[in-house]
């Protein structure tokens, strides 16, 4: 009986204490992480270096992050991560003090604070270059004291591991561009942690000066070898350069007749000073056809067919036959004969005769003509264009708004002149940019070469910027402005050359071309002056799905006296986007704000509004 009482007592105590023991062993979710004493790095920078993460709902759901849990082992691991980061950034005396942890009442959530003593950083006292080539050593040593230096880790700056490894690549590229194809560099770091300084000694092994040798081209069956050779940025016997190799590959691919173009140097283990180059090509099919079908709120059902012939009549020429139908363009037929590398490896000449019918809210017309264009790639991000054009226009005058210049618009007239453009693009990725700039400037001079019915000058500039923020979002902004004015005794501007505003890629609170002056029948007149701007945060939700919110503003004016901030109209709205390989597909809903008009507009599009 006594033994039974002992067992009963033991079981009773175990039942009472078991929840306490289990509860005590339960790890707390890290709800918030803070830092104190971090004067050199922001909280965000330090959060990127440790395993702990904020355990908020939005972080887990939108970013897909798993919750992190606090324990002594987890704390020690995060401390090691912090110390490693600080020491890699030159703070060799970093200290992380005892954990400062606040638990919730139910001990299920924890707020963790890292208290840091950074200490003084290690400063680079000197940078030296040593190696078997005295001339190279002297050049780099002289540069190290100037702004022309290839280095990131320079004298007087804080020592940072990542800059040292970046400099190794930079120095190697510097030597390679001077013809040292086999160059190798290694840093020797002499740190004095007592004095908090360091000396960086670069050991250089440039190897022999090398030159381009024989060029072997394989895989080109239809494209003549001499055309491929003209696209190369180097010749046999030129000093070796990796940049010239990369530029050659880009210029060969620009011919447009290849599916794959690879340009590679054959470096040897024996350090031969003459380096052969191998060009491997896979040609695209000689004929191909693209067919597209879609629907948009403005152009409604749309379809196109594009038939392409490569190496047309020999060489690298290509012929494109294009046909399109939509509500805005009931028909359009265009043939384009393209001559790549017309005057230089980066120039393209194209001849494009076309016939089309346009049916816009503000006008309807039939036109035929031709365009000769020269496209020139100026640099990796900059390109320019020059066009000579001729168009014969048959205008449906009953579709045009009634206004004071309507008597000057003939039913049939011709346009001819020149147009130029300059385009800068640093945005990426291509179809759904999240960073970078796009800047486009266009100018057109009608009746500049041949006498035409309506001489005018037209200018337009558009600037777009994309900036990532909050890891899950992109802030997209756009500003667009333009002007067109008549020249000489002419006072009328062809209706298709005027500016219109409103629509899915304009100020989205208005339907297509409905923002701006209209006649008594509500038909848009168009204007000689245009201004538009947009701000649009794009936020990823999950997978390919994202949402946008936007504010658009703008207007068009017929006279300069009407232009003013007080006449700018505003709209706001939101939308959804679904990412696809060819860009996002989405829908927007918008309405005017601070305006007498309050009707909603619904837009469906492929691609972003800008």
C-alpha distance from residue 515 to each of 261, 343, 526 (Å):
48, 44, 9
The strand pair at 258-265 and 274-283 is best described as antiparallel
Q: Which burial class, exposed, middle or buried, applies to 603 when counting CB atoms under 10 A from its CB (0-12, 13-18, 19+)?
A: buried
**8 A C-beta contact, residue 88 and residue 8:** no
Q: Could you tell me which residues come within 8 angstroms of residue 84 by beta carbon, excluding any fewer than 6 positions away?
A: none
Distance of CA 566 to the CA centre of its chain: 34
The per-residue pLDDT for 58 is 52
The CA distance from 47 to 43, in Å, is 6
Sign of torsion, CA 600 606 608 610?
Answer: negative
Mean pLDDT by 10 residues, the chain (610 residues): 50 45 60 93 92 68 69 94 96 94 88 95 94 91 82 92 95 94 94 93 94 95 94 95 95 94 92 94 95 87 96 94 96 97 95 96 93 95 96 86 60 92 94 94 90 89 94 93 90 90 94 89 90 96 92 94 91 94 89 90 89
The CA distance from 54 to 217, in Å, is 56
Name which of 578, 573, 590 is nearest 545 in CA terms. Answer: 578
The per-residue pLDDT for 424 is 97
Assigned token pair, 182: 């086999």
Q: What are phi and psi of 20, to 5 degrees?
A: -65, -45
Q: Which burial class, exposed, middle or buried, applies to 462 when counting CB atoms under 10 A from its CB (0-12, 13-18, 19+)?
A: middle
Classify domain 27-117 by CATH number. 3.10.20.310
| CATH superfamily, domain at 211-283 | membrane protein fhac (3.10.20.310)
Assigned token pair, 232: 């190369």
| DSSP codes, 86-133 | HHHTT-TT-EE-S-EEEE-TTS-EEEEEEEEE--PPPEEEEEEEEES-
The per-residue pLDDT for 64 is 54
Domains of the chain by residue range = 27-117, 123-205, 211-283, 341-606
Q: Which fold has domain 341-606?
A: Porin (2.40.160)
Helix or strand holding residue 550 (H, E):
strand 545-557
The CA distance from 539 to 473, in Å, is 4
**8 A C-beta contact, residue 337 and residue 314:** no
C-alpha distance from residue 473 to each of 256, 286, 426 (Å):
35, 42, 19
Asked if domains 27-117 and 211-283 share a fold, the reply is yes
C-alpha distance from residue 530 to each of 147, 480, 500, 556 (Å):
44, 8, 8, 5
The CA distance from 75 to 77, in Å, is 5
The per-residue pLDDT for 26 is 57
pTM of the predicted structure, to 2 decimals = 0.80
The CA distance from 363 to 500, in Å, is 11
Assigned token pair, 419: 């147009």
Helix or strand holding residue 575 (H, E):
strand 569-578
Q: Is the peptide bond preceding residue 429 cis, with omega within 30 degrees of 0?
A: yes
Classify domain 123-205 by CATH number. 3.10.20.310
The CA distance from 149 to 170, in Å, is 10
The strand pair at 184-192 and 211-218 is best described as unpaired
């Amino acid at each position: 009986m006594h033994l039974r009482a002992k067992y009963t007592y033991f079981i009773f105590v175990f039942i009472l204490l078991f929840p306490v023991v289990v509860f005590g062993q339960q790890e707390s979710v890290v709800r918030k992480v803070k830092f104190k004493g971090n004067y050199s790095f922001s909280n965000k920078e330090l959060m990127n270096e440790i395993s702990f993460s904020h355990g908020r709902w939005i972080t887990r759901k939108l970013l897909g992050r798993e919750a992190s849990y606090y324990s002594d082992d987890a704390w020690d691991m995060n401390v090691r991560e912090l110390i490693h980061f600080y020491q890699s950034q030159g703070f060799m005396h970093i200290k992380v003090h005892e954990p400062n942890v606040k638990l919730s009442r139910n001990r299920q959530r924890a707020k963790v604070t890292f208290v840091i003593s950074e200490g003084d950083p290690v400063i680079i006292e000197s940078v030296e270059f040593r190696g078997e080539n005295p001339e190279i050593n002297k050049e780099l040593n002289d540069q190290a004291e100037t702004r022309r230096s290839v280095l990131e880790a320079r004298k007087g700056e804080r020592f940072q591991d990542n800059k040292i490894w970046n400099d190794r690549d930079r120095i190697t590229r510097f030597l390679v561009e001077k013809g040292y194809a086999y160059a190798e560099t290694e840093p020797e770091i002499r740190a004095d942690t007592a004095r908090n300084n360091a000396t960086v000694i670069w050991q250089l092994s440039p190897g022999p000066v090398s030159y381009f040798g024989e060029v072997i081209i394989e895989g080109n069956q239809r494209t003549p070898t001499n055309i491929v050779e003209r696209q190369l940025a180097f010749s046999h016997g030129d000093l070796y350069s990796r940049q010239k190799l990369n530029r050659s590959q880009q210029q060969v691919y620009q011919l447009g007749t290849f599916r794959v173009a690879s340009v590679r140097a054959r470096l040897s283990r024996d350090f031969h000073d003459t380096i052969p180059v191998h060009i491997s090509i896979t040609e695209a099919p000689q004929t191909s056809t693209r067919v597209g079908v879609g629907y948009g709120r403005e152009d409604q059902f749309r379809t196109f067919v594009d038939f392409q012939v490569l190496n047309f009549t020999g060489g690298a020429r290509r012929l494109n036959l294009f046909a399109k139908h939509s509500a805005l363009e009931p028909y359009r037929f265009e043939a384009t004969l393209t001559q790549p590398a017309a005057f230089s490896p980066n120039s393209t000449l194209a001849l494009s005769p076309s016939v089309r019918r346009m049916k816009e809210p503000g006008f309807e017309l039939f036109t035929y003509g031709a365009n000769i264009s020269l496209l020139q790639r100026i640099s990796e991000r900059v390109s320019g264009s020059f066009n000579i054009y001729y168009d014969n226009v048959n205008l449906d005058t009953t579709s045009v708004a009634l206004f004071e210049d309507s008597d000057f618009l003939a039913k049939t007239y011709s346009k001819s002149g020149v147009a130029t453009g300059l385009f800068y693009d640093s945005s990426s990725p291509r179809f759904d940019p999240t960073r970078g700039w796009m800047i486009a400037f266009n100018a057109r001079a009608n009746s500049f070469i041949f006498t035409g019915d309506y001489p005018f000058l037209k200018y337009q500039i558009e600037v777009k910027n994309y900036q990532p923020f909050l890891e899950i979002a992109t802030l997209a902004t756009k500003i667009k402005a333009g002007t067109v004015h008549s020249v000489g005794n002419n006072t009328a501007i062809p209706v298709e050359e005027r500016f219109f505003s409103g629509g899915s890629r304009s100020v989205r609170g208005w339907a297509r071309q409905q923002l701006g002056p209209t006649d008594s029948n509500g038909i848009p007149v168009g204007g000689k002056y245009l201004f538009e701007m947009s701000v649009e945060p794009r936020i990823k939700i999950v997978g390919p799905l994202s949402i946008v919110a936007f504010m658009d503003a703008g207007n068009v004016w017929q006279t300069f006296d009407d232009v003013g901030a007080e006449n700018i109209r505003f709209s706001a709205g939101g939308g959804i986007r679904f990412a696809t390989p060819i860009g996002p597909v989405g829908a927007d809903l918008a309405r005017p704000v601070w305006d007498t008009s309050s009707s909603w507009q619904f837009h469906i599009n492929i691609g972003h509004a800008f």
